[in-house]
Amino acid sequence: MTTAILTGLIVGIIFGFIMQRGRFCMNSAIRDTVLLQDYTLLKSVGIAILIEMFGFGLMNAAGWIEPSAKPLFGWANFVGSFIFGIGMVLAGGCASGITYRVGEGMMGALAAVIGLATTGTLTAMGFLKPIMVALRPAEATSPTLASVFGMEYWVLALIISIVAGAIWYFAARNKEDDALVVDSSASLNDRVFKKGWNWLVTGIGIGIIGMISLPISAAAGRNYPLGITAGWIQWVKVVILNTEGQAVNWIAAMVLGIVIGAFIAALIAGEFKFRFPKWGMIGQAFLGGLVMGFGAVTSGGCNVTHILSGIPLLSIGSFLAAISIALGAWATAYFMFVRPNK
Amino acid sequence: MSEETTPTKTLDVCGKICPYPDMNTMTTLKKMTKGEVLEVLLDYPMSVERIPRNLKKQGHKLISVEQIDGPNHRMLIEAFGLK
């Protein structure tokens, strides 16, 4: 086992463990704002992004990392990510959400992952590739907020994360939050391994693993923090297509690690169970996965690549992708759930 | 206390993908009259935590959440009567 596979697995296991304990899913985070007026998971995402931005800033200032943003693809970001947003609501989970839920034994999530890997591969190297190419500009640059303002990345990353964090703290400090009340009747062991984590603990956990994933992944020759879709595509290349010269790499090991980590967490919590929804729902999840795979590769990344990793890197393409994912998800949630129930 | 509550209606959302456990519960509650009790059987950890959090907004009252085994839970909810 190479070092890249080992470190990928370890990062994935921790990431998967945290996601299972915190029920961390960006589909829910975004969708539930319109569906249930529930902002709990969105706050986890926000905390995670701020911690990563702060951490990347510090590590860049120290010279440990050289941040690399995803390219700005314009229409491909907008259209691809909008389609991805539609797909994740159909699938009942974002790219990371469906991945960790495979480890909980949810067969609907497995169907979605298979769909994502299928069209992801077909868009990266199959018959869907011309559509992606047509949507992308002939030449793409990778602007960031820092490069636009002519600043050093670390300066702006530290300023934004500290200012946003301070504003959030002062706005929220006097507000009561039921979700943060500690259940003192439960032992620490139960609070960690048996009960779901609150949004703050979850957000901090995700932020820390996202932050340390960058230097670890860079040491394996992949200078980018967490991602999902590329890992599943790599498994298709290695296992199913037997593509010459392709082997299990850091990101492939990482996504497998997520499934293992979530499986361990679910097993300890007693939450592992094979869950088979009706075939119609499995079909819907698979279709959602198919839609997500095309959208993710077209836009140059899924929700993890763009929202969890790209926003902390201040990538303009990722900001555009993040907005489009949210718009696609909100529109779909409205037509699927809000309107029919009016 | 909750043992004595007899549910008016039972909803089984086991196995369903996100967010159907929540949505089915909410739409069923919407059609019930005030004071009727809905029993929800569910096995999706996120919804076990999310449904109680969002019930209050509609005025419904959570009577109990009981773990049957593993992820399987039984929830009793008193409808606010939105009908």
pLDDT string in tens for chain A (342-residue length) = 699 999 999 999 999 999 999 999 999 999 999 999 999 999 999 999 999 999 999 999 999 999 999 999 999 999 999 999 999 999 999 999 999 999 999 999 999 999 999 999 999 999 999 999 999 999 999 999 999 999 999 999 999 999 999 999 999 988 888 777 777 788 888 888 888 899 999 999 999 999 999 999 999 999 999 999 999 999 999 999 999 999 999 999 999 999 999 999 999 999 999 999 999 999 999 999 999 999 999 999 999 999 999 999 999 999 999 999 999 999 999 999 999 887
**What span, in angstroms and rounded, lies between the C-alpha atoms of B79 and B83?**
10
Q: Is A40 in contact with B50 (Cβ distance < 8 A)?
A: yes
Residue A186's pLDDT is what?
85
Cβ count near B64 (within 10 Å): 13
Which two tokens mark A166? Answer: 């301070």
Task: Name the residue facing B15 among A38, A271, A275 (closest C-beta).
Answer: A275
Which two tokens mark A335? Answer: 């037509």
Provide the shortest C-alpha distance from residue A338 to chain B (in Å).
Answer: 9
Q: Which chain A residue lies closest to B12 (C-alpha atoms)?
A: A277
**What span, in angstroms and rounded, lies between the C-alpha atoms of A270 and A247?**
35
**Contact between B63 and B78 (Cβ < 8 Å):** yes
pTM across the whole model: 0.95
- Residues of chain B with C-beta less than 8 angstroms from the C-beta of A276: 15
Q: Which residues of A233-253 are buried (b: 16+ CB within 10 A; e: fewer)?
A: bbbbbeeeeeeeebebbbbbb
Task: Name the residue facing B70 among A38, A40, A270 (closest C-beta).
Answer: A270
Residue A156's pLDDT is what?
98
The DSSP string of A244-274 is TT----HHHHHHHHHHHHHHHHHHHHT----
> Does residue B83 surpass a pLDDT of 70?
no
Cβ count near B61 (within 10 Å): 13
Those of residues 7-36 in B touching chain A at CB distance below 8 A are 14-20, 22-23, 26-27, 30
> Does residue B3 surpass a pLDDT of 60?
no
**What span, in angstroms and rounded, lies between the C-alpha atoms of B69 and A137?**
54
Which are the contacts of A154, defined by CB distance < 8 A and separation ≥ 6? A56, A57, A58, A60, A61
Which are the contacts of A79, defined by CB distance < 8 A and separation ≥ 6? A135, A298, A299, A324
Q: Is B70 in contact with A271 (Cβ distance < 8 A)?
A: yes
**What span, in angstroms and rounded, lies between the C-alpha atoms of A152 and A61?**
9
Provide the shortest C-alpha distance from residue B37 to chain A (in Å).
Answer: 21
Phi-psi region at A223: left, alpha or beta (left = phi > 0; alpha = psi -120 to 50):
beta
**What span, in angstroms and rounded, lies between the C-alpha atoms of A90 and A77?**
20
Closest CA to A8 of A256, A303, A302: A256
Phi, psi torsion values for A270, nearest 5 degrees: 75, 25
Residue A304's pLDDT is what?
97
Q: Within an 8 Å CB–CB cutoff, is residue A335 touching chain B?
A: no
- Residues of chain B with C-beta less than 8 angstroms from the C-beta of A104: 45, 71
3-state secondary structure of B36: coil
Which two tokens mark A254? Answer: 């990482």
Which two tokens mark A244? Answer: 């010459």
**Contact between B32 and B6 (Cβ < 8 Å):** no
Task: Name the residue facing B45 among A35, A40, A271 (closest C-beta).
Answer: A271
Residue B2's pLDDT is what?
47
Those of residues 32-61 in B touching chain A at CB distance below 8 A are 43-46, 49-50, 53-54, 57
Longest Cα pair distance anywhere in chain A, in angstroms? 60
DSSP tally for chain B: helices H, then strands E? 2, 4
Residue type, A127: F
> Does residue B1 surpass a pLDDT of 50?
no
**Contact between A21 and A14 (Cβ < 8 Å):** no
- Is residue A181 packed enough to be buried (19+ CB in 10 Å), middle (13-18) or exposed (0-12)? exposed
